Amino acid sequence: MAETTTTTGHLIGYVRVSTDDQEAQLQLDALTAAGCARIFEDRASGKNTDRPELRAALDYARPGDTLCVWKLDRFARSLIDLVTMVDTLGERGIGFKVLTGALASIDPGTADGRLMLQVFGAMAEFERSLIKERTRAGLDAARAQGRTGGRPTVVNEDVLTVARARKAKGESVSATAKALSISRATLYRHLTEDV
């Protein structure tokens, strides 16, 4: 992990609320009380990778500044994401501070703080590997039982027989698909499999 420089610059706040219904005031008050010179606010789900105000905060930050968040879940989408972003900040000479919750007492600018982040990152990577292994094993077991997953097809042999008969009479694929309540692309795919 990169060395983090001593904080000599400004505190820069970042706020995220998941929906328009959620209120950001609690986060804004906490960041203002902590002394943030500038606060950036996103209204986006944590799953959303497009967070323009986070990008703006990262662009705004200069070496010696510290990015400050109210809680970790307002900043990172996963532990891997957290470790990667804090590492990137450290490489740029920018500190990171959490006001409440997990890691609030950990300073990534210290050796102990970096160690804790690395431990959390390793645990997150291990968990991700376990999930992948379980998913792969589940899919293999399903395949062994003859299940392939995905949506069941709406085109069975009866539907295909009717579609072939309509096509033989000169009816267009679009009209046939509409009459059978299936998409034109699905019908085309099944009819071309006949060829």
Known catalytic residue at 18: yes
Is position 39 within any domain?
A: yes
Is position 31 within any domain?
A: yes
Is position 145 within any domain?
A: no
> Are residue 170 and residue 119 in the same domain, yes or no?
no
Is position 186 within any domain?
A: yes
pLDDT digits (tens, 9 = 90+) for 138-170: 888 888 888 777 777 778 888 889 988 998 899
Is position 109 within any domain?
A: yes
- Residue 52 is part of a domain; what is its CATH number? 3.40.50.1390
State the pLDDT at residue 5. 40
> Are residue 48 and residue 113 in the same domain, yes or no?
yes
Mean pLDDT over 48-67 rounds to 89
> Are residue 105 and residue 180 in the same domain, yes or no?
no
State the pLDDT at residue 14. 94
Is position 130 within any domain?
A: no
Whether the pLDDT of residue 62 is over 90: the answer is yes
> Are residue 111 and residue 189 in the same domain, yes or no?
no
Mean pLDDT over 25-39 rounds to 92
Residue 79, domain extent:
11-124
> Are residue 33 and residue 89 in the same domain, yes or no?
yes
Is position 3 within any domain?
A: no
Candidate list 18, 45, 105, 174, residue with the active-site label: 18
Is position 6 within any domain?
A: no
How many domains does one find in the chain? 2
Cβ atoms 39, 28 nearer than 8 A:
yes
Cα dist. 46→33, 51, 71, 150, 175 in Å? 25, 9, 13, 26, 44
